[in-house]
Amino acid sequence: MINFRQMIAVLLEEVLEGLGRDEIAAMVEIPAESRMGDYAFPCFRLAKAMRKAPPLIAAEVAGKLGGAGAEIFEKTEAVGGYVNMFLKKDVLLSAVVAEALEKGDAYGSSEMGRGRKVVVEFSSPNIAKPFHIGHIRSTVIGNAINNLYSFMGYDTVRVNHLGDYGTQFGKMIVAYRKWGSREDVENQPIKTLLEYYTRFHEEAEKDASLEEEARLAFARLEQGAVEERELWQWFRDESLKEFSRVYAMLGIGFDSYAGESFYSDKMGRVLDLLREKGLLAESEGAQIVDLEAWDMPPALITKKDGSTLYITRDIAAAIYRKEHYDFYKNIYVVASQQNLHFRQWIKVIELMGFDWAGDCEHIPFGLVSLEDGVMSTRAGRVVFLEDVLNRAVERTREIVIEKNVNTDNIDETARQVGIGAVIFQELSNSKIKDYVFSWDKILNFEGETGPYVQYSHARACSVLRRDAGPEGRLAEAAACGNGATGLDLSYIAGESAYELAKALYRFPEAVVEAGEKYEPSILTRHVVDVAQAFNKFYHDEHILVENEDEKLAKLALTAAARQVIRNGLRLLGMEAPERM
């Protein structure tokens, strides 16, 4: 497709002195209001070098640019210190419609990441603990980031770094031995194990010896004791069955479930490397790396009893991933609570002499709390994610029946829209913001929501379906025969059609920006913009007119809008119903 920003940069390079093409391209802006043009160039930086006031420079540049860019500009004008540029509508419409229909599911994708591997670690719940609403953030944000990077041409590896190791397993083993029932665990694994874990902490407040008993149980697990190992493996297997059910509901898969336990036999090498580099120091019997020079507390590598910690296992995991995948980026989608932890271990990796430490990136996000306070696994105060998804589907089913929604499969539509509503809600706001979980907000389908965007897609499908003739012809099939060259786009010269075309054109830019900033909400916002622009076009224009050329042009733009909405929803991890 035509890269208008680059074309403008080339034209301006001929007019301006002292600025390179890339620098000019970076300065080109998109005005906040359409009446100010499609693109704008600020001239304020040029005032000193050219010894002229910005408005005078803008007037001069606008005049020269209008002639040089006659093929793409309808007009150029100077407003204050800006050069405002208005594209020719037919040029933009033709480029957008042709490419969207030709590329289809690949529209908006690129090859910028070709030959580069990106590891994305996300979700990572703890074995034998609830998969609760707090986990949805890492899960859906990480999935969207993975999808974006894959769409940009990177070879992505989705890693679920399960919390399947650590002292909590000693506690779980002790609790199961004292109060457990195999039948109860097999019937309701997570809820039953949560009850055991909660009871352990209640009892430990009355009997401190339980903590030591749990520590010894974990030590035996680390040493490979048969009974402890078998219990741990059973807890892990039963937990994964439940986790897998939730991932299936969300439509999310992983390439690796290598959790903390996977690196238990790789700790020795890490400790040896740290000693070789002279980084380890003893502190009250424990082994640490002193990070005072970098204004951080010491990184605790091993406890007094020699057992390892999260940071040791994360160091081992990073080394393994670099050697196994040779990543270009190693991305960790983990809550902002862990900011210090990531700063510490990435610094340790750097001190160990690994020049790829800077390729490890922590993508933090805000926390979820309940309306009556923070969640606590120890206290048993959690909202199970599966319950949230099921309730969203049930509520959506009620709405579908109540509103007599046009669907030939009520249950399927309820599933697609209900789960989509939860995902979209999570990805709508900046990932770093904390928020309070509210059933009312999650299940609110009004306004700029997932169901609104999905409905817009279904509406476009309906328009195209109504045009299907006896032979089942779809408008985009006719348009795709020779791109958009066979269309008379003068029929869709209305302002709403042009605003829709601009939103479709900017979709690839939104994909790249969302990916490079690790911010899916940028894409979410843009998909809403496309949906709103399409609905305005739908209301302003009569699409299924008698004139075949006019109808085909309008249907082609409708098909392009449908394609972009579908692509956006897919990147966010949502489905695009064709009937609603």
Six token digits for residue 102: 């030709």
| 132 is a catalytic site residue | yes
User: How far is residue 474's CA from residue 454's CA, in Å, rounded to a whole number?
Assistant: 20
Q: Under DSSP, is residue 129 helix (H, G, I), strand (E, B) or coil?
A: coil
DSSP string, 196-258: HHHHHHHHHHH-THHHHHHHHHHHHHHTT-HHHHHHHHHHHHHHHHHHHHHHHHHT---SB--
Strand partners, 330: 119, 360
Backbone φ and ψ for 362, nearest 5 degrees, come out as -90, 125
Question: Residue 321: exposed, middle, or buried by beta-carbon count in 10 A (0-12, 13-18, 19+)?
Answer: buried
Choosing from 64, 117, 129, 526, the catalytic residue is 129
Phi-psi region of 204 (alpha: psi -120 to 50; beta: other; left: phi over 0): alpha
CA nearest to 578, candidates 407, 445, 421, 422: 407
Choosing from 89, 132, 171, 554, the catalytic residue is 132
DSSP string, 547-561: -HHHHHHHHHHHHHH
What lies within 8 Å, CB to CB, of 495 at 6+ separation is 34, 540
Q: Under DSSP, is residue 325 helix (H, G, I), strand (E, B) or coil?
A: helix
| 526 is a catalytic site residue | no
| 135 is a catalytic site residue | yes
Query: Which DSSP letter does residue 111 get?
Result: -
Choosing from 52, 88, 103, 135, the catalytic residue is 135
What lies within 8 Å, CB to CB, of 471 at 6+ separation is none
Measure Cα distances from 290 to 108, 278, 533, 542 in Å.
47, 11, 56, 70
Cα torsion for 531, 533, 534, 540, to the nearest 10°? Answer: 140
Question: Residue 435: exposed, middle, or buried by beta-carbon count in 10 A (0-12, 13-18, 19+)?
Answer: middle
What's the first-to-final CA gap in the chain, in angstroms? 32
Six token digits for residue 559: 């098909």
Half-sphere exposure of 170 (CA within 13 A, CB side): 19
Residue the block writes with tokens 């190693």: 330
Strands 286-289 and 280-283 turn out to be antiparallel
Residue the block writes with tokens 């299940």: 443
Backbone φ and ψ for 432, nearest 5 degrees, come out as -80, -15
Q: Which residues are catalytic?
A: 129, 132, 135
